[in-house]
Chain A
Amino acid sequence: MLDFDKLDRTIHEKGRLAIMTLLATRPSWPFQDLKAELKMSDGNLVTHLRTLHQGGYVAVTKEVLDRPQTSYALTMKGRNSFQDYLRVLEEIVKTGRS
């Protein structure tokens, strides 16, 4: 029997799930682009990104181009965890249908 207990709780939170989803679409995302796409406040986004970074799901790159820019990318652990998370969700849906 599959249930929500098998889902990764770090990813399952709505805001962090949205961040992980976007990070899965491109090699890296600048902070400002993530903020614009998700329409989150700076504080909220920073808190979620810090949680994901501390969990080893997200890598942070700070660089100075014409101005300082912080970019975020999924780590290998983050990508695998996201795929596992999707698989569990799909299995829950399939189990519910059968």
Chain B
Amino acid sequence: MNERNEAEEHLRVIRTLMERATIYRAVSAPTALVGGMLAVVIATGSLMWLRNHPRSTAVPHFALWWILALCITSAANTFYLWRAARLRGEPLFSSSLRLAVRALFPPCLTAAVISLPSILAGRDSHLLAIVWSAFYGLALLATAHFSPRSLVVLGWSFLLAALFALAANHACYPKYIGAEWLMGITFGLFHLVYAVAAWPRKTA
């Protein structure tokens, strides 16, 4: 191996190590697919229920349905992260995952605390949809310094959609952009688009 080849090999090793240490995808593509499909199903079911009950303004147990979706998707994410870590020969709770959890925790905690009164009272589905979309977007953006670009774009998409819905609801009061629509578009459609964009491809 001549000097140039050896230098290139060293630079390649350095780059690989740096990427492995600094880039971490906290939401895997398969998780986004599971979450996105689940969200589309729940949102579609909710919209059909509302169509059949024109006097109702909200789906019963709105928050519970979405918390159930969150639990299933979180379990799927844990499984996929564990599987990916095992393939790399790393523990699940690697330093990168701990870094991601530390970044995700404050926005998620804030969203939970703001949502709790509405969840317990079983109302304000519009507020819940906006808070969940906005803070999920902020949580993803909090991982921006070590996330791949697609995850940052996803974070911005959630945040901007939530802010748009908030502004539109103020402008159109008392007619709201439906919580089911917002949840379906953000947690459903956005996740599906992200899953397609970030799906691991085999290199030739």
* Chain A residues in the interface with B (C-beta under 8 A): 3-4, 12, 14, 17-18, 21-22, 24-26, 29-30, 33, 36-37, 39, 86, 89-90, 92-93, 95-97
For the complex, what is the distance from the CA of A26 to the CA of B21, rounded to whole Å? 9
Q: Given A18-B17, A24-B18, verify A36-B10 contact (CB < 8 Å).
A: no
CB distance from A26 to the nearest CB of B (A): 7
- Are B14 and A86 touching (Cβ within 8 A)? yes
Minimum CB distance partner of B2 in chain A: A96
- Are A25 and B18 touching (Cβ within 8 A)? yes
Assess whether B91 is interfacial by the CB under 8 Å rule. yes
Minimum CB distance partner of A23 in chain B: B21
Interface size class of B (residues with CB under 8 A): 20 to 34
* The residue from B18, B20, B95 contacting A33, defined by CB atoms under 8 A apart: B95
Q: Which residues of B contact A33 (CB under 8 A)?
A: 94-95
Q: Given A4-B6, A89-B7, A92-B7, verify A22-B21 contact (CB < 8 Å).
A: yes
Other A-B contacts than A3-B3, A96-B5, 8 sampled, CB-CB below 8 A, are A4-B3, A22-B17, A22-B21, A25-B22, A26-B21, A36-B95, A90-B7, A92-B4
Q: Given A22-B17, A25-B18, A25-B21, verify A93-B91 contact (CB < 8 Å).
A: no
